[in-house]
Amino acid sequence: MTYTIFEDGHIASPTGFRATGVSCGLKDGSKARDLALVFSMQPARVAAMFTTSLTKAAPVFLSQAILSRNREAMRAVLINSGHANAGTGQPGLTDAVECAKLVADELEIPRDGVLLMSTGIIGVPLPMQKLRDGIRRAVSELDSGGGKRAAVAILTTDSRPKERALRVQLRDGQRCILAGMAKGTRLIHPRLATLLCVLTTDLAIDQRLLQQALHHSAGRSFNRLSLDGDGSPNDSVLILANGSAGNAPITNAGSREFAAFQEALEFLCADLAQQIVRDAAGSGKIINVRVRGATSEESARLVVDAVTRSRALRSAVRRGIPDWGLLLSAVGSSCAEMRPELLDLRVGSVLVLHEGMVAPYDNHAAVQAFSGPEIEFTIDLNAGPVELTVVTCSWHEE
């Protein structure tokens, strides 16, 4: 293992980053922090993943436009909670442009050096005067210890902040710091990024390799969460790398340094994803859905989508009722390529269906599997080489 957890680390822990979170009244009746700002004192390379929704929110549209011309010298990310700025048309885009412009002017940086994220209520215009005042205050309060304030400011339905920082050993005394913060408990489904997440590092790395590393890590973490089957028009994951660690720039995907960074980034994304699902579950249960033996990624995805969307199955899990027939029903409704006579189903370690027929099993063991705080369903199609695991959960209200 090439990394260790940075105790009390946060999004501004990597060298050369500053952050803060302030309250500017974006959440009605609340004085909670609702505006976060992350700033790199040096131009940073950036990689990003965004929602695949056809109804992209204004901040997503604007950030994608900015990244089409600048991926090598990003300086800041502004995140507001309380208002999604989605479904707001051209006025919403105009407001987003003004926010980015104001951040750039206050920080005295180029106007294409600011990215935006928003989360909250859809279809409500941004309260721009509150945002103008909040942006000016956030710029004035930026500091190297402000990451925890920022992690709180991006929350909406979350019950707690989600953050982590790592020290990464590259080679022969060369080190970097990698940090992240995320939010999300609802509207999470694997259609690319599935939530809001900002990652920072002081590593020097080629932008194409940074994008490759993010795509790989998000694909194995954020893109394997399906908490309620609904996507969002605001989903975004960003990573900024400002090179302040002083390492020789990583330009080779086959290098030891890149492998060390990739390993750490994969752990960080997985850790943040687990924090999200555990917060979403609350008093409910975590459900791991593992598909094996699929002929293709598409077939595996169809199966996990059908299983994670089944409210009846989630309800049985929540109540501890060992009705694995609901699992079989969900798999059968998936329209995935399969041969029913080859299908195996496991609840935890208990084989309940073998080659399409009920298997002799210990009912007490099945009850125990359904009764624990976490359960794994394994669906083996026995038809191909593809495997896929997605995490979902039950909620107390189901």
What DSSP state is assigned to residue 341? G
d(CA 306, CA 75): 41
Which of these, 254, 288, 297, 284, lies nearest to 375 by C-alpha position? Answer: 288
Exactly one of 15, 20, 194, 201 is catalytic; name it: 194
Element (H, E) at 175: strand 174-183
Which of these, 193, 213, 187, lies nearest to 52 by C-alpha position? Answer: 193
CA end-to-end span of the chain: 40
Taking the mean position of all CA atoms in its chain, how far away is CA 121? Answer: 19
Helices 256-281 & 207-219 angle (0-180, nearest 10): 40
194 is a catalytic site residue: yes
DSSP characters for 36-61?
EEEEEEEEEEEEEEE---SS--HHHH
d(CA 262, CA 199): 13
d(CA 313, CA 310): 5
d(CA 265, CA 214): 8
**Spatial contact of 295 and 337, defined as CB atoms under 8 Å apart:** yes
- Per the DSSP assignment, residues forming a β-bridge with 106 are none
Beta carbons within 8 Å of 319's beta carbon, 6+ residues apart:
none
What phi and psi values does residue 121 have, to the nearest 5 degrees? -75, 135
Q: Helix (H, G, I), strand (E, B), or coil: what is residue 306?
A: helix
- Per the DSSP assignment, residues forming a β-bridge with 22 are 35
**Torsion, CA 272, CA 279, CA 119, CA 289, rounded to 10:** 70
Catalytic residues: 194
